[in-house]
Chain A
Amino acid sequence: MKKFLIIFKRHHWYSLFLFTVGIFFDICFLKFTSSLFILFLVFLWIWTVIDWQLEGKFSIFGGLILLIVSPFLLILKKDPIAEKVAAWVYVFLATGVIQQLIELKMGKKLE
C-alpha cells in the first residue's frame, strides 16, 4: 500500500488517468449505479485536484462539458448513459463550487 502511494505521488498523472478511466467505465459500461464506486471516484477527483492544484473552474468546466454532451447522447438514444452523465454534471459542479469558494475565501476576493 505504501509503495503504491509512493508511486502514485511520484507519477501524479496516475490519479488523473485512473479517474478518467473510472468515470468512462462508470458511464459507459456499468449498468447499475454503485454509490461506493462513485464515492471512490469523487475522492479520486478530490485527490487529483489537490495533487495537480487544479482551480475550481476546471471542475466546473468538466461539468459544463458533460452538460453539453448529455443532449447529444439523448439524440443518439443513449438515455441511460445520458442519465449517468447528468449525475456526473452535478458531482463536478458541486466540487467546482466548493473549490471556488475555498479559493475566493483564501484570496478574500468575494464581492
Chain B
Amino acid sequence: MKKPTIFTLVFYFLVALFFLRGVVFSPGVILGGDWALPSTLVQMQRYFQSGFYTWTDRSLLGNQQSFLNSLPFQVLIGFLAKLGIAGEVYIKLLLVFVFVFPALTMFWLCQFLGCQKKVSVFGGLLYITLSFFFNYAAIGWFLVLFSMGVLPLSLIFFIKSVKEKKISFSILTGFLYSLAMVQSQSLVWYPLVYFSFAFFLIKTKKDFLVYLKSLLVVFLVFLGMNAFWHLPLFFSGSSGILDTKFGLSSVSLGTWARLSNLNILRAWGSLFNYQYESSYPKALIPLSFLLPFLAYLSLFFLRKKREVYSLVFLSFVSIVLFKLGPGFIARLPFSDLIRDVARFSVISSFSYVVLITMLLNFMFRDKRKQLKIIGVICCILLIINAYPFWMGGLFGELKHGYDVRLRAYKFPEENVFLEKTLMKEGEDIKSLYLPMGSVLRTADDKRFYGLYGGMSDIFAHYSPKRGGTGVSGREMGSAANLTFKLAERIDNQQFDNLSKLLSLMNVKYVVARKNIDCPYGVPGKKVISSLNKKVDIVLKKEWDKIFLFENNNFLPHFYIPQDIVYSSGEKSLFDIVGLGDYSLRSGVYLKNEKIETKNEKEKIKNKEVLKRANRLFIKAELENIIGMDYFKKKEEFKNSMPFPYVKHKPGSLGWKMAKLKEEYGEWKLRKKPEKLLDKKLFYAGKRISELNRWVTDNEAEDLILGAHQKKIVEAIELIRSMVVKDNQMVEIRDNMVIKIRAYWERHKEKVESVYSRGELKYNENVAERMEEWWGGFERLDGKIKPLEKKFDLRNLEYNFEIPEKGHYSLFIKSTGKLIELTDLVVEEDEETLSLNGFQTRDSEWANLGEREFKEGGHKLTLRLPELENLVVDDWQKVEKTRIKKQGVTFFPQGFFPATQNLVFQKINGWQSNNFYYLTFDYKSKGGSLGFGILEERVKFQRGEEIVKIEKMLEKSLVGTESENWSKFETIVKSDPDVLGAQVCFWSVSSPNQLAKVDFKNLRIYKIIQPEVALYINKERNKAKTEMPKITFIKINPTKYKIRVEGAKEPYTLVFSESFHRGWKLYLKEIPNNKLQITNSNLQKLRGWGMRMVGKTASKITGVFLKNKGYGEETASYFNGDIKERVHKMTFLEPATFETWTEKPIVEDRHYLINNYANSWYITPQDTSGKENYELIVEFWPQRLFYMGLFISGTTLISCLGYLGSNYVKKRIFL
C-alpha cells in the first residue's frame, strides 16, 4: 500500500471542508436528520459507559441493549471525553473525518488495483460524491460512512491475504471487518464483497484452498472480536429482537418507496428522505446515468480483467434483492440486522466507483489521444454530476420537507446548567423531559419544525438523571405500553394525577422547555403554565427557557409497598392513582386477560396476587362504547386498504378465469374466517379498481356492481355466521365489523371520486348508474348496521367481573364539564339507585355509595338525562337559499358547491378530544347534500401573534333521489387543542338539473360516556404486616445490592425498572440455599460450569482490583424505612462474579407490577427464616457480555501478538 502524499490528504480535507462549509463554519453542534451525537463531556461520558452494559439506564424506564456493536465507537467517544475534546469541535472533526477517510481508502484501493496516482485520487473523490454518501451524511448516519471507508482497506488486505498467502493479512481483514460492525449491515456487506471477489482470486484449485483458508481466518477473527455483542444477542433469549421481521415494518418499507429499476441502476434511493435526489437539478438528469454507463462500459474495454466481473456481480446485488422483495428479505435469518434493500445501494456504489476508476485509468494509459480526451470529459462530467455537493446541498434548504439536511444548532447554555444541577443529585432518580419522545421541535427556529424537521433530544437521552424515551415499542420492551399511554396523555395536555403516576416510575424531576412545542402544536409555554398549576409538582429552578419541576410524590428506585392494589383491567393504572385514598407506597398489579387466557401461569399469578392484595379496583367495561380505538382502527383499515391492479375487462374470458381463481382462493381459506374476510374484501376492492378502469363501459359496470355487492354481502354473512365463544372471539368479531365498515366507507369514497373525474361526460345514463351505486351502498349500510355495536346515548350498559365477594364503593368519572346523572340500574336484582341531580366534576372520581356484590359477572345501566343539542336554527345567510324554520332548502344549479349553496353555523361548546353524535333528516331531488365540520385550531403562536387554521373534520355527501325524508347519523371526534367548530351544509346538483335539496332536525350531541369503577379497601389485611427496612446501592446499570433488615413477614420488593425476565434476584449469606434447588443433570453441569468460571474470574480480578463497600448514605425515605447509599458505576471488581456461584431465588414470583416494573414476592421460607440479609438484583445477560468481552479481548491480544511477532521477525531476521 503506497503512502498518500500530503497533497492527496490536503486535497480531500479541503474538498470535505468545502462540501460541509455551511455547518463546519457555523456555530453550534451539527445535527443530522434523525441522529445526533452527545455534545457535552457529561453526555459523552454517559454514552461511553452505556456501551459496556446489556441494560441501558439512559432511557426513562430502562431497556435491554441487544445490539452492543457500537462499543468501539463509544470507546472512541469516551477517549475523546477523557482528553477533554467535546462539543462542536469533535463532532465537526468527526464529520470531516468520515469524508476524508473513505476517500483516502478508496484512493489506496485504486492504486492497489494498478491505477495511476492521479486517477486514484479522482477515484477517492468520486467515492465521496455519490448519492448514498450525501444521504447518509445528511441524515447523520456517520457510522455507515465510516464502515464504507473501512471497506476498501479491508478488501486490499483480503486480496493480499489470498495472493500472498499470508495469515497476517487475513487477521487484518478480520480486524477491519470487526471494526466496521459499528454499522450492523456491515455484517452482510463485507462478506458479499469477499464472496464476489472469489472470481478474481480463485484461478486454480490451490487458490481455492487458500481463499477458503483466508476466509475462515477472517470469520474466526470476526466472531472472536465481536463475541462481546454476539453472545448477549444470540444467547440471552432475546426473542422479539431478531425475529421481529423489522424489514416489514412501515419504517423499513418506507425506503422501498424510493426503489425502482431506474434508481437502483444509478445508485439512487438509498434513503426515504431522498436528499441528494431532491437536490439534483432536473436539467442534469441524463448525467445521473453516467455512473452506471461508465461502470458497465468497462465490460468492453477491460473484459479480460477478472476483478471487473467481481465488481459487476457486486453491482447486481441491489437489483437481485429488489426483485426478491421485502417478504423474502424478512424471511432470511437475522433479517433484522439486514433490514432493507435500499441500504445495499452502498455496495453498488462501491463497485461503480472502482469500475469507473479502472476504466479511466485504461483511458489515460492508452496511447490514443482521443481516449485521453474522452477520459478528461468523463471526469468533468462526473464532477458536474456531484452538483448537490458542490452547491452546498448537504446543509442547504429543503425541497420537500422530508429531505432534511445537516444543520448546526447552538443549544441554549441553560441546558448545560440543568445538566450540572442534575449531576449534583446523588440519588438514583429519573427525570422526565417534556415533550416525551425522541424528537424536539423548536418554536423559535423554523429549521427544526415540521413533521421531519425535529432534532434529536440529546439532553434528555444523555441526561445525568435519565429522561429520554425511545422511538419504538421494540426498543422499550415492557415499558412501551405505559410510556406510550403517558406520552399520549401529556400530548393531550392531561396532567391530572401526573405526580402520583410519576412516583411509580421513580421520577423526581420534570423538565419543561419553553421554546419546544409539543405534538399537535401545543406550545411549551402552555405546558409550563399547566405544570405550574399543579400542587404536587413544584417549580425548583427556572432559567430563561428551561423550567425544572420537582415531584413531591416520589418513590425511590427500590421500595416495599404498604398497599397492594389488584385491578381487573390492564388500563386502570391512571384511574387507580386518582382515587381519593390512594396511598403513595402502593404497588399495582393489573390483570391482563389476554395473557391469562393463553397462559396458565398467569392465572396462578393473578390468584396469588388477589389473595394478598388489600385493595381491589374493578373497572366496568362499557358495552356500547364509542371510543378512540374504533376510529383509530377504522382509519388504519381505510389507509391500508389495497385497490389492486386489474388487467382483465369484466365479462372477458380472463375475468371469468380470474373469478374462478378467486373462488378457489376463498375455498382454501374456508376454515379461517378472519383471513377469508380479508380475501373477500380484497376482491371487492378489485371490483372498485375495475370500475375505475372501465367506468365508461356500461356492460362492464353492471357486472362490477353486482360482483361488488355480492362480495360485501358474503363478507357480512361470514361475520353473522361466526360462533363467538370467548372475549377474544368477541374482539376478533368486532374488528372484523370495523373492517367491513371501513371498506364500505372507502369504497364509497372511491366510487364518488371515480364519478367526479373530469374525463367522464355527464348524462342521464351516468346519473342513473350513480344512483344504482348509491342505492347499493345504502342497502349494504342497512346490512352492516345490525352487526355494529349499538350505542345508546342515554342508557349506557356496563359489564364487570367481581373477583371476591364484598362491599364495594361505586365510582363514576367523566371528562368535560359537570355532568348530571339520572339513575343507575344494577341488573342482577334490578335494583335502581336513584341519582337524580347527581353531578360529577371533570376527570374526578365521584363516589356513588357502597353496596355488596357477589363474586362473578354483573351488569349495570346508567341513565343520563336528556342531552343538550349544540346547534340551533341560527344559519348564516347565504344567497338563493331559503331558510325556513327548522329546515333549509337549497336551489343549486351548478355541479360544484358554490358559495350561494352553502349554509353554516357555530357549534356551541365544541371541546377538544370529545366524541360528538350528529344526525339530521334530509331529502334531495336532482342533486345531493354535503356536510362538514370546520374546526378552529391554533397553528402557530409566537408572543401575541396567533395563526389559526380551520380544518375539515368530516365530510360526506349524501345523495338520494327519494321524495321521503331520510335520516343520516354519524359520530365524529374532535381534535386536541381546538378553539371551536362550525357545521356547514351545501348542495351539489346533478348535471343539467335543477336540484331541490332539503335538510332539517339537525342535532349535535356531545357523547357522554362516564367511566364506572368499583373499589374495595380490605383494611383488615393492612397494618398487620411489619415492613422490613431496606438500604440499596447501584453498582452499575445491571447490578444493584439491597440490604434487608427485619424481614419477619412476607413482603413485595418493587424495582422501578422495566420488567424483564433477565432480572434475577440472588440471596447472599445463606449457605444452604443451593440445596433447595433441584435441577436436571444437564442444568447441574451448566451451573457447575458457570460457577467454575465465576470463581476463576473472581480470583483473577481480585489480583488487580478490590471490592468497594456500600459507602455513605445519600438519601432516606419514609422515616428511614428506605435508604440509598452513594451509587457507583463499577464495571469490574471481584464481586462482579459473586452471583455466578449462586442460584436465583423466587423466580416463580417475579411479576410485572405498576404496568412496567419488576416485583418479587419474598417469604421468610425463601430466606430460610433469616430476617437480615443481602439481596442482589442482577441482569443476567450481562454475564454473557463479560464472557464475550473476555473472548474479544483474548482474540484481540492474540491477533496483535501474532502480528507483532511477525513484524519483529521481519525486522530482525529479514
CA gap between A31 and B645 in the complex, in Å: 10
Contacts of A32 in B (CB 8 A): 645, 647
Interface-facing stretch out of B78-86, B304-312, B577-585: B304-312
Contacts of A57 in B (CB 8 A): 299-300, 303
Given contacts A70-B289, A74-B285, contact A111 B262 (CB under 8 A): no
B285 touches A71 (CB 8 A): yes
CA gap between A57 and B299 in the complex, in Å: 8
Interface-facing stretch out of A9-17, A18-26, A42-50, A86-94: A86-94
* Beta-carbon nearest neighbor of B261 in chain A: A86
**A93 CB → nearest B CB, Å:** 6
User: Is A110 in contact with chain B by the CB < 8 A criterion?
Assistant: yes
A96 touches B299 (CB 8 A): yes
Given contacts A86-B262, A96-B299, 4 further A-B contacts (CB under 8 A): A67-B265, A83-B260, A97-B313, A100-B309
User: Is A41 in contact with chain B by the CB < 8 A criterion?
Assistant: no
B312 touches A71 (CB 8 A): no
User: Is B293 in contact with chain A by the CB < 8 A criterion?
Assistant: yes
A111 touches B265 (CB 8 A): no
Contacts of A68 in B (CB 8 A): 289, 293
* Beta-carbon nearest neighbor of B293 in chain A: A67
B293 touches A74 (CB 8 A): no
* Beta-carbon nearest neighbor of B302 in chain A: A111
Contacts of A109 in B (CB 8 A): 304
* Beta-carbon nearest neighbor of B292 in chain A: A67
Most interface-central of B292, B297, B303, B647 (chain A CB within 10 A): B303
User: Is A8 in contact with chain B by the CB < 8 A criterion?
Assistant: no
B316 touches A83 (CB 8 A): no
Q: How many interface residues does A have (CB within 8 Å)?
A: 33
**B262 CB → nearest A CB, Å:** 4
Contacts of A101 in B (CB 8 A): 309
* Beta-carbon nearest neighbor of B289 in chain A: A71
Contacts of B203 in A (CB 8 A): 110
B304 touches A60 (CB 8 A): no
A60, A75, A90, A97: the one within 8 Å of B309 (CB): A97
* Beta-carbon nearest neighbor of B297 in chain A: A64
Report B's interface with A, CB cutoff 8 A.
203, 260-262, 264-265, 285-286, 288-289, 292-293, 296-297, 299-300, 303-306, 309, 312-313, 316, 319, 645, 647
| Interchain residue pairs A-B with the least CB separation, the first 6 | A86-B261, A71-B286, A86-B262, A87-B261, A71-B289, A60-B299
A67 touches B285 (CB 8 A): no
* Beta-carbon nearest neighbor of B260 in chain A: A83
A93 touches B261 (CB 8 A): no
A56, A63, A110, A111: the one within 8 Å of B296 (CB): A63
User: Is A7 in contact with chain B by the CB < 8 A criterion?
Assistant: no
**B361 CB → nearest A CB, Å:** 14
User: What are 30 A-B contacts with C-beta separation under 8 Å?
Assistant: A57-B300, A57-B303, A60-B299, A63-B296, A64-B293, A64-B296, A67-B289, A67-B292, A67-B296, A68-B293, A70-B262, A70-B265, A71-B285, A71-B288, A71-B289, A72-B286, A74-B262, A75-B286, A84-B261, A86-B261, A87-B261, A89-B265, A90-B319, A97-B309, A97-B313, A100-B303, A104-B303, A110-B203, A110-B304, A110-B305
A111 touches B305 (CB 8 A): yes
A86 touches B265 (CB 8 A): yes
CA gap between A60 and B297 in the complex, in Å: 8
* Beta-carbon nearest neighbor of A100 in chain B: B303
**A111 CB → nearest B CB, Å:** 5
**B661 CB → nearest A CB, Å:** 15
**A67 CB → nearest B CB, Å:** 5
Contacts of A90 in B (CB 8 A): 261, 265, 316, 319
CA gap between A68 and B292 in the complex, in Å: 10
CA gap between A31 and B303 in the complex, in Å: 36
* Beta-carbon nearest neighbor of B319 in chain A: A90
Contacts of A31 in B (CB 8 A): 647
CA gap between A71 and B292 in the complex, in Å: 12
**A75 CB → nearest B CB, Å:** 6
B260 touches A86 (CB 8 A): yes
CA gap between A55 and B951 in the complex, in Å: 64
Contacts of B285 in A (CB 8 A): 71, 74-75
**A108 CB → nearest B CB, Å:** 10
**B78 CB → nearest A CB, Å:** 46
**B345 CB → nearest A CB, Å:** 14
B312 touches A97 (CB 8 A): yes
A56, A60, A70, A111: the one within 8 Å of B306 (CB): A111
A110 touches B289 (CB 8 A): no
**A99 CB → nearest B CB, Å:** 10
Given contacts A67-B265, A70-B265, A86-B260, contact A93 B296 (CB under 8 A): yes
Contacts of B313 in A (CB 8 A): 97
Contacts of A100 in B (CB 8 A): 299, 303, 309
* Beta-carbon nearest neighbor of B288 in chain A: A71
* Beta-carbon nearest neighbor of B299 in chain A: A60
Contacts of B645 in A (CB 8 A): 32
Contacts of B319 in A (CB 8 A): 90
B299 touches A97 (CB 8 A): yes
CA gap between A70 and B293 in the complex, in Å: 11
Contacts of B292 in A (CB 8 A): 67, 89
A83 touches B261 (CB 8 A): yes
A94 touches B299 (CB 8 A): no
* Beta-carbon nearest neighbor of A57 in chain B: B300
Contacts of A56 in B (CB 8 A): 303
CA gap between A110 and B302 in the complex, in Å: 10
CA gap between A88 and B312 in the complex, in Å: 16
B316 touches A94 (CB 8 A): yes
CA gap between A109 and B262 in the complex, in Å: 34
Contacts of B297 in A (CB 8 A): 64
CA gap between A97 and B260 in the complex, in Å: 22
CA gap between A63 and B295 in the complex, in Å: 12
Contacts of A96 in B (CB 8 A): 299
Contacts of B261 in A (CB 8 A): 83-84, 86-87, 89-90
Given contacts A90-B319, A94-B316, contact A110 B306 (CB under 8 A): yes
**B1135 CB → nearest A CB, Å:** 61
Contacts of A110 in B (CB 8 A): 203, 304-306
* Beta-carbon nearest neighbor of A35 in chain B: B323
CA gap between A94 and B286 in the complex, in Å: 23
**A54 CB → nearest B CB, Å:** 15
CA gap between A34 and B300 in the complex, in Å: 31
A72, A74, A82, A104: the one within 8 Å of B304 (CB): A104
CA gap between A70 and B265 in the complex, in Å: 10
CA gap between A79 and B261 in the complex, in Å: 11
CA gap between A87 and B262 in the complex, in Å: 8
**A74 CB → nearest B CB, Å:** 6
**A34 CB → nearest B CB, Å:** 9
**B792 CB → nearest A CB, Å:** 50
Most interface-central of B260, B262, B286 (chain A CB within 10 A): B262
**B356 CB → nearest A CB, Å:** 14
**B196 CB → nearest A CB, Å:** 12
CA gap between A84 and B260 in the complex, in Å: 10
**A41 CB → nearest B CB, Å:** 16
Contacts of B260 in A (CB 8 A): 83, 86
* Beta-carbon nearest neighbor of A79 in chain B: B262
Contacts of A89 in B (CB 8 A): 261, 265, 292
* Beta-carbon nearest neighbor of A72 in chain B: B286
**A79 CB → nearest B CB, Å:** 8
Most interface-central of A61, A86, A96 (chain B CB within 10 A): A86
CA gap between A89 and B313 in the complex, in Å: 15
CA gap between A101 and B293 in the complex, in Å: 20
CA gap between A60 and B312 in the complex, in Å: 12
CA gap between A87 and B316 in the complex, in Å: 12
* Beta-carbon nearest neighbor of A88 in chain B: B261
* Beta-carbon nearest neighbor of B290 in chain A: A71
Contacts of A94 in B (CB 8 A): 316
CA gap between A48 and B1173 in the complex, in Å: 86
* Beta-carbon nearest neighbor of A101 in chain B: B309
Contacts of A97 in B (CB 8 A): 299, 309, 312-313
Most interface-central of B203, B293, B316 (chain A CB within 10 A): B293
